[in-house]
Amino acid sequence: MTGTAIDRAGTGHAGVTVVVGNPKPRSRTYQTAVLVAERLTGAPPDRVVDLVDLGPELLDWSSAAVAGVVAEVQESSLVVFASPTYKGSYTGLLKLFLDRFPGGSLRGLTAAVPLMLGGDMRHSLAPEVFLKPVLSELGASCPTAGLFVLEADYAGSAALDEWLARSRPLLHLPAFADRAAPA
């Protein structure tokens, strides 16, 4: 579910985290979110949280496991928050997790990338209109446009390549340059 927190960027924060809110384990959403993190930073994320693995603990406000994952996310420098598009918005699973963060608790710590997958381009504004405002309310910096990926393109596309080219400079990712393996 989670990996070891590593401060490879030398920022005092714990690197790159992917949070996936798909009720299907190791879904296309999961695969796409990991791909986006890898393509943004040049290396796999330091940790991947597939929220489905937390199951009913997300409903238990005293869960130490969920509190630990929240703390890991708060310590991250970059977080890709990913969800499939359900009823035009992000999933209830992701909402349950995001409800654990007090307003402003990601301020000054975390850059966030809102990512959503969907079956039709009619949902393409969902990450920008529904997910990004919640992440901003939690205090995360969201300097890029929200990313929408068609389910058919989950393994990569020209549109993803274009988004990456536009977004890397906005995320100030040179701090992660040492993450990439030597050529």
- Composition of the chain by helix, strand, coil, percent to 5: 45, 15, 40
Residue 46 exposure: Cα atoms within 13 Å on the Cβ side: 21
Expressed as residue numbers, the domain containing 30 is 16-170
> What type of residue sits at position 92?
G
pLDDT of residue 8: 38
pLDDT at 65 over 60: yes
Quick one: 178 exposed, middle or buried, by C-beta within 10 A (0-12, 13-18, 19+)? exposed
> Which band of pLDDT confidence, cut at 50, 70 and 90, is reported for residue 115?
very high
11 in any annotated domain: no
Q: In this structure, what CATH number is given to the domain that contains residue 109?
A: 3.40.50.360
Note whether 15 and 175 are within 8 A (CB): no
Say how many domains are in the chain: 1
pLDDT of residue 155: 85
163 in any annotated domain: yes
182 in any annotated domain: no
Residues 97-126 have a mean pLDDT of: 93
22 in any annotated domain: yes
Torsion of CA 41, 48, 164, 105, to 10 degrees: -90
pLDDT at 49 over 80: yes
80 in any annotated domain: yes
pLDDT tens digits, 72-103: 999 999 999 999 998 889 999 999 999 999 99
Q: Which spans in the chain are helix H? A: 28-41, 64-74, 92-98, 126, 132-137, 158-171
pLDDT at 35 over 50: yes
Q: Considering the entire predicted model, what is its pTM?
A: 0.88
8 in any annotated domain: no
94 in any annotated domain: yes
pLDDT of residue 173: 65
68 in any annotated domain: yes
